[in-house]
Amino acid sequence: MHERNDILTAAAAALRDARSVAVLTGAGVSAESGLSTFRDAQTGHWAKYDPMQLATPEAFRRDPELVTRWYDMRRQAALAANPNDGHRALAEMQRTLAARDGRFTLITQNVDGLHARAGSTDVIELHGSLRHWRCFDCGRAGADLPSPLTEFPTPCDCGGYMRPGVVWFGESLPTGAIDRAAEAAASCDVFLTVGTSAVVYPAAGLIHVAHEAGARTIEINRDATDVSELVTWRLAGPSGDLLPHLMQLAFPTD
């Protein structure tokens, strides 16, 4: 316990002194909002499907109904969820850094939109978003789609089908997103990675970019990951507790 408090204090001091902070989040930051993480077991009907087998263009071509239903289920779950204290602490971190003329960049692998709903702005959504659907064939944006969907798959006027605006395995990241993220990682003083298993590249590579550029690195995660040995400070536990705690230590409000 003593050691954990020392780590928290040291990490908070680094945050307080930082002029530029970059944060990478993953599914763990939304776990306390009730959204299951990617590698945790899915529940109910979906337990028999492997998410890694559903998140590909090949899966959509093979079974567009199944993939459409899965993503619409995830979209409805995200819309029904609320941001938690971890999301709110990161939005507060952004406002605090801005008030001190510091730089703050929030990079997320999440497609649930909860960071923006918690008040974060300019979020780099590396893996796209569940909110913005488009045609798999012609690319037409699906702003007019009902929520929840009523047709599985949902046809487009061109004869193709609508797909979620997320990045699937084997696809490129949104134009500019990884460049902006890499620039922020390479130029920050403190890099914070939260609730990501750090196994999917290029997102996970950002931690290495920051480390190699000399940033101090903090990991907040319930479990140990591939980067736990690399980071300057590892904080083990739920992000909904640790992020507000870290913020309060770094920038006390009372």
Q: Which residues make up the interface to ligand OAD (CB under 6 A)?
A: 26-28, 31-32, 37-39, 55, 109, 127, 167, 195-197, 200, 221-223, 225, 238-239
Q: How far is the CB of 77 from ligand OAD (least distance, A)?
A: 15
Structure tokens at 224: 């140990």
Asked if 127 is an active-site residue, the reply is yes
Q: How far is the CB of 198 from ligand OAD (least distance, A)?
A: 6
Please say which residue, 167 or 218, places its beta carbon nearer to ligand OAD.
167
Please say which residue, 96 or 225, places its beta carbon nearer to ligand OAD.
225
Active-site annotation holder among 2, 127, 211, 245: 127
> DSSP string spanning 67-108?
HHHHHHHHHHHHHH----HHHHHHHHHHHHHHHTT-EEEEEE
Q: What is the DSSP code (8-state) at residue 155?
A: B
Q: How far is the CB of 235 from ligand OAD (least distance, A)?
A: 9
CA distance 83 to 88: 7
Please say which residue, 17 or 40, places its beta carbon nearer to ligand OAD.
40
- Residue whose structure tokens are 């990079």: 107
Q: How far is the CB of 84 from ligand OAD (least distance, A)?
A: 9
Provide the 10 A C-beta neighbour count for residue 184: 24
Please say which residue, 15 or 198, places its beta carbon nearer to ligand OAD.
198
16: nearest Cα among 123, 102, 85: 102
CA distance 240 to 88: 9
Q: By beta-carbon distance, which residue lies closest to ligand OAD?
A: 28
Q: How far is the CB of 32 from ligand OAD (least distance, A)?
A: 5
Q: How far is CA 220 from CA 24, 45, 166, 190, 248, in A?
A: 10, 31, 25, 13, 15
Please say which residue, 17 or 226, places its beta carbon nearer to ligand OAD.
226
Structure tokens at 221: 């995660």
Q: Enumerate the active-site residues.
A: 127
